[in-house]
Structure 1
Amino acid sequence: MSTVNGSTAPTLAPVQLPPGQPGRPYVLQSLCGEIIYIPLSRSATRLLVTGKETDNAFAVVGTGGSEGAPIGFHYHRETHDVFLCLKGAVNVWADDQCRTLGPGDLASVPPGTIHQYQVKGDYSEFVGLIVPGGWEEFFRFIGEPYDGPLYPLVDERSLFEVLIPKLKAASEKFDMIPVRDHPQISPQAWEEGKDNTLPGKARPYFLRAGRGPRYLLGGIVCSPLVTTAESAGRFSIAAIEGSSWHDSNPLASALQFSDVHHAFQVADGVIEFAVSGEDKANLHVGETIYIPKGTSFGLKIKSRFAKAYVFVSGGGLVDLLRKAGKPYHESIPPEKPEAFQKTDLQSLQTEVGFQLV
């Protein structure tokens, strides 16, 4: 809590911009963040968590827009990109593969993978993880600050005057190597035996929504989308689901991870987060919370159903739920979950690197 005019005010009151400094938890309002318009792109990029908050462990970036041209093939020497569609559709190319991502679908693009993306439809949204953080400076370099509602609908400037020179300069300044002669292929059909599981190693892959492994602990369902096996130990991503009707919630207890940062974005329902034992905030759809390493947190599901995506700079909460939970094969949380045993969490404190506080 902080003191304002002699009274206490919650430090987790939603803000519109990341604080730009490490070690501080914050809640970001829906469709906010540092908003950058890429000229003639018919889209806006929102920096939700940047390298400045995470000591360059990762960055979380949101993009919303309408259909335009693909951005152009390129690859990164060190940077790992992840594309997670939230609304509408996004084409993602990775080497010789392409899929049209719908809500909940994911593409993982490790370093060295030739890739590009294309926003589709009247309005689509996706969120991306960039590892390590700091590469989001690319967007600041080629784009322009934007303070409108979503993004400009009309831009009659010349592409060759306002954007191409910046892209050429950016390719020399940032970890981005253009590949102009890469063959353009059409989106391919999803493959049932290939796109519904995690590969277990750091290679490019696509994952369909609701597929892949799922784990149940109490009333919480964890669906890993990327684990440390697919990211060469650098990060993990999962969907977490639950219901306010369930008392068996292993995440209500305060957890403190000493070495990894967490960021959550709510995709459905309402979730209450308690940070450092006293500050609480109810997050709704589209809102993001960043929790730096060493900061304790717990969460409670406040609606009949809720879902959030969690991004971690390591194994963290995703590893904990994978190791403590049991394999689960249903598409929704159970009607009456089994009570979890707190000892199941306590026994993993050293292995996963956290404390129950």
Structure 2
Amino acid sequence: MHHSTVLSVLSLLAPAAQASLWVDRAPSYVRPYAIEHYANANALTIGSQTYRFPVTGPSSGNRFTMLMTNAPQSGDLGVLPHIHEQHHENFFCYKGRFQLWAHKGNDTEARLLTAGDYGSVPVDTTHTFQILDPDTEMVGVVAPGSFEDLFYFLATQNVSYETQTPYTPANLSDDAGSGSSADIITQLVSFDVHAALNFTPPRDLVNGSRPAGAIWHDDINEIPSSSGSPYFVASNWGPKYLNNVTGAYQVVQPFVTPTTGEGNFTQGTITLGRRFLNASRQTWNLTDHLALNILEGAVDLTIANETATLLAGDVAFVPGGIPFSYDSRAAFSKFLYVSAGVKGLDQQLLADAAEWSWPVFPTTSP
């Protein structure tokens, strides 16, 4: 190992040894950390929506941003229809319901997303969303990082809720058109937001999808074999792979592959069982950064002799080059992963996995 690589790893391990993994906001530099669900992580409001940023450009070395959006139902669009020319945006429904539209070329697709559903909005895709349930949370992943700067610019106000409530329980305006003045639209271009005001979201969804006959919660949702087109994956209806060689069952369900992520990132879910009896703990040391968002159960993440027990909604960030291990404290745990690059945790697991037809693992150990 080159001396420069050793020094780089030591520089990351040093602050990890000095400070707890738990923080209340994303650090201003790359280091391992964990953030509790609903922590006031640079929280701000835009209308009725409360945004939190557990992973930022500075905390991820500018590889990606992860944001949580909590809001009540609204009769208005949550954002003006717009396009990104340089950012790939990803939508995941943690809870509640929202509708997502994606238009590219001559095709307009739309889905009603419920818990566990995913939507991919690559560059040059017109998109918008509308929140439909009283307690909805969207998890957004945007690559590359620092996209949070847009929300800092648009914020109605910065907030720090004493009770860590998901959002402000009050009737607040959510009219996306309120930010459509010529001056605001011009300024948004500097954040890679290009307004598409001529786009009218179609409302003719059938069984939660558009166009008519589109596969959604009724058959296997395939991931495209090429990049550039928007697509959707319904919860547990995408491809699944079972790994049983790491000391515990792990079911990997990819949303973003090295191909559809264009080499920049991968994303999906991993379902994890408890470690097999007498199985040794697997230690990982990835070449690039990893973020975890717990969806179900409880996961023990160990870094530099500190173990953080992550519960539903919690987020952890592990820089590349930092050894770590993780175990399911619960009988059945599941987390959303985001891996920078193309050699992430998911790809390591998939290399020793087999195709699997179920979102759960077998009844007996191998």
TM-score past 0.5 threshold: yes
CA contact (8 A) 2:291 2:316 kept: yes
Q: Which amino acid aligns with 1:93?
A: W
Corresponding residue SS for 2:285: strand
Task: Provide, for residues 40-86 of structure 1, a one-character-per-residue CA deviation record: whole Å limited to 9, x for no partner.
Answer: 2x110111100011121101111110122111210011100000001
- Separation of aligned partners in 2, 1:130 and 1:235: 10
Q: CA deviation at 1:320?
A: 1.2
Counterpart of 2:26 in structure 1 is 18
Structure 2 distance, partners of 1:281, 1:192, is 39
Give the fraction of aligned pairs with identical amino acids, expressed as a percent.
23
Query: Counterpart in 2 of 1:254?
Result: 283
CA distance, structure 1, for counterparts of residue 121 and residue 220 of structure 2: 14
Q: Aligned runs of 1:55-134 on 2, under 5 Å?
A: 55-68=61-74, 69-70=76-77, 71-95=79-103, 96-134=108-146
Write the distance in 2 (CA, Å) between the matches of 1:94 and 1:25: 34
Structure 2 residues without counterparts, runs of 5 or longer: 1-12
Residue pair 1:249, 1:300 contacting (<8 A) in 2 also? no
* Corresponding residue to 2:311 among 284, 306, 309: 284
Structural mapping, 1:210-289, within 5 Å: 210-218=236-244, 219-244=249-274, 246-247=276-277, 252-258=281-287, 260-276=288-304, 278-289=305-316
TM-score w.r.t. the length of structure 1 is: 0.85
Whether the 8 Å CA contact 1:141–1:170 is kept in 2: the answer is no
| d(CA) in 1 for partners of 2:90, 2:153 | 21
User: Deviation of residue 188 (structure 1)?
Assistant: 4.5
Once residues 139 and 184 of structure 2 are traced to their aligned partners in structure 1, the CA distance between those partners, rounded to angstroms, is: 22
Q: Is the 8 A contact 1:138 1:170 kept in 2?
A: no
Residue from 340, 344, 351 that aligns with 1:313: 340
Local SS of the residue matching 2:317: strand
CA distance in 1, matches of 2:66, 2:173: 29
Q: 1:135 to 1:248 in 2, by over 3 A?
A: farther
AA aligned to 1:209 is S
1:86-116 Cα deviation digits (max 9, x unpaired): 1011111000111010111100000001101
Give the aligned partner of residue 332 of structure 1.
360
Deviations for 1:216-241, whole angstroms, at most 9, x for unmatched residues?
Answer: 11111111111111111111112111
Say whether the 8 Å CA contact 2:60–2:145 is kept in structure 1. Answer: yes
2:168 to 139, 152, 158: 152
Q: Give 1:297 shift.
A: 1.3
Report SS of the residue matched to 1:173: helix
Superposed displacement of residue 330, structure 1? 1.7
**Corresponding position of 1:175:** 192
Aligned-partner SS, 1:67: coil
Q: State the distance in 1 between where 2:296 and 2:176 align.
A: 41
1:183 deviation in Å? 2.7
- 8 Å Cα contact 2:291-2:317 kept in structure 1: yes
Residues in 2 aligned to 1:136 and 1:46: alpha-carbon distance in whole angstroms = 9
Counterpart contact for 2:294–2:310, Cα < 8 Å: yes
Amino acid at match of 2:153: F
Q: Is 1:192 aligned with 2:215? A: yes
Amino acid at match of 1:11: S
Local SS of the residue matching 1:121? coil
Looking at structure 2, the residues matched to 167 and 247 of structure 1 have their Cα atoms a distance apart, in angstroms, of: 59
Return the letter of the residue paired with 1:255: W
Q: Mark the CA change 1:245 to 1:145 in structure 2 (over 3 Å): closer, same or farther.
A: same
- TM-superposed CA distance for 1:151, in Å, is 2.6
CA contact (8 A) 2:95 2:138 kept: yes
Q: Deviations over 1:274-307 (max 9, x none)?
A: 114x121111111110011111111111111111
Q: Rate the CA distance shift 1:226–1:161 in 2: closer, same or farther, 3 A.
A: closer
Alpha carbons 2:93, 2:116 under 8 Å: kept: yes
Deviations 1:119-166 (A, max 9, x none): 111110110100000121000001021112333344668979984557
- Aligned residues between the structures: 327
Equivalent-residue separation in structure 2 for 1:97 and 1:188 (angstroms): 12
- For the residues of structure 2 that align with 1:169 and 1:246, how far apart are their CA atoms? 57
Query: CA separation of 1:248/1:236 partners in 2, compared to 1, >3 Å: closer, same or farther?
Result: farther
Q: RMSD in angstroms over aligned alpha carbons?
A: 2.5
| Secondary structure of 1:212 counterpart | coil
Q: Under a length normalisation based on structure 2, what TM-score does the superposition of the two structures give?
A: 0.83
Rate the CA distance shift 1:212–1:248 in 2: closer, same or farther, 3 A.
Answer: farther
